[in-house]
Amino acid sequence: MTFKHFVSLQTRVIVLCATLVFTGLWDAPLTPVRADKPPRVEDIVERVIAVYGSRAAIYAVQRNGTLRALVKFVAPNSSAREGKSVTKFIRKPKLENDLQMIELELPGTKYTIGYDGKDTWAIHDGEVQEPGKEAVRAFHSAHEHSYEALLRYKENEGKLEYVGSTKLGTLEMDIVDLILPSGARTRYEISRKSGHILYANYEEKATPEAEPVKYRLYFKGFRYTQNTLVPYEIQVFQDGKLVEERKLVEVIFNVQLEEKNFKAENANKPAEAAVR
């Protein structure tokens, strides 16, 4: 597999990670439901935050963490490549300043991309490289459009808009848009019954002139971990086609993570050396 093709795979896993489902497709019909009196959008989202553990618990418990997962990439010809990933993060007051690092291991190759608070860097099979614009854009965009961004809307001065409600079978969902100061807009579909974020939808353009690529993330397998709710399974659809699946196998929050280990020169060292 060429590096270009590998980076294409990594771009898709970045969409999945920075982030962390019901088998819906982008093209699944959504039937609008008219309400006599639209609910307050803040009330909907604040209920979601309470369901996910409360704002205080989320910030106290999920201030940093390590997520280990099994990943599968689905090619256009339906062939699949499987591997594993490790995501590490340290949260800052603002979403855009969070420290992040994603390690992706596939048969025969390993790729790591990270952000140390200043620079975005990459390591491919042990060699430090400057990541391409596509990979950098996908890395940061996935974080802006993650389900966690909705849970942190107030702290990040995000604007909420109530779009309406919809019904998928018997499932009733409220549709809410989040617009961040950067201009990033994400549309969330939230179960009225459980308060779970089931879908996140957004569009990306490779260039201003290019046609937008539509992403739809579907979350399922919800479990409480350290008193906060986490979707353990996620699917990514690109223009209506399933391209990725992720299953978390280990989630640990509030662990010992040092900021210096998010720098490329330390991430490239053995774990023991990076701690010293």
pLDDT in tens, 117-162: 999 999 999 999 999 988 999 999 999 999 999 999 999 999 999 9
What pLDDT score was predicted for residue 27?
A: 36
Asked whether the predicted pLDDT for residue 53 surpasses 80, the reply is yes
Length of the chain in terms of residues written: 276
H-state helical runs in the chain: 3-17, 41-51, 55-61, 133-144, 147-151, 264-267, 271-275
Asked if pLDDT for residue 246 goes beyond 90, the answer is yes
pLDDT at residue 267 in the model:
83
Higher pLDDT, 33 or 153: 153
How far, in Å, CA of 26 to CA of 30, rounded? 10
pLDDT band at 208; cut points 50, 70, 90: confident
**Whole-prediction pTM:** 0.85
With a cut of 70, say whether residue 16 has pLDDT above it.
Answer: no
| Per-residue pLDDT tens digits for 177-186 | 999 999 999 9
Give me the pLDDT at residue 34, please.
Answer: 47
CA distance 110 to 125: 5
Domains identified in the chain and CATH numbers: 3-275 (2.50.20.10)
Burial of 126 (0-12, 13-18, 19+ CB in 10 A): exposed
Range with the lowest mean pLDDT among 9-18, 202-211, 227-236, 237-246? Answer: 9-18
Residue 253 neighbours by CB distance under 10 Å: 19
Extended beta strands in 75-168, E state:
80-90, 99-106, 109-115, 120-124, 127-129, 159-168
In what helix (H) or strand (E) does residue 219 lie, and over which residues does it extend? strand 213-225
Rounded to 5 degrees, φ, ψ at 47 are -65, -40
